[in-house]
Amino acid sequence: MTVSIIAAVAKNGVIGKGNDLPWRLPDDMRFFMQTTNGHHVIMGRKNYESLPEKFKPLPNRTNIVISRQKNFLANGCTVVHELNEGIQMAMTNSEKELFIIGGAEIYKLALPITDTLYLTEIDAEIDGDTFFPEWDKKVWKEISRQHHPMDAKHKFAFDFVVYKK
């Protein structure tokens, strides 16, 4: 099974602010939905709580939420207490590609065992309080890059980039 991380990251490493995205990039959302569709996704509790109600659980995905809270419930999701529990569940279900979808703490835990990074690299430094973990670009090979210019619906230019170990 391939373990993949998918995230949108500003030039300064920001991925969030106030438990929300500090940007609105509709084509990035579409990319996220298309890429993760039909797969298992693992997210932290705070990330789950940040989702709009209409997207809980994320449709057409097996939603796995990691929480330290022993009694935490997430309607329509499986709650686990460690990353490895979620990974084991995906393996048991014969998942071919598992997606780690955030937040920062979960990305940091998953990075050492991740095979593929799907990063939307936003061409801007953006104010935020949550950051993507440091990662060694020498260990990763860029497989593809697709540029998306700034336009009427997108305040920032960005690239969809895929990296593999």
DSSP 58-97: PTTSEEEEE-S-TT---TTSEEESSHHHHHHHHHHTT-SE
The fraction of the chain above a pLDDT of 70, given in percent, is 100
Confidence at residue 11, expressed as pLDDT on a 0 to 100 scale: 98
Specify the CATH number for the domain of residue 29: 3.40.430.10
Domain that holds residue 150: 2-164
Total domains in the fold of the chain: 1
pLDDT digits (tens, 9 = 90+) for 97-131: 999 999 999 999 999 999 999 999 999 999 999 99
The arithmetic mean of pLDDT across residues 93-97, rounded, is 98
The arithmetic mean of pLDDT across residues 8-30, rounded, is 97
Q: What is the pTM of this model?
A: 0.97
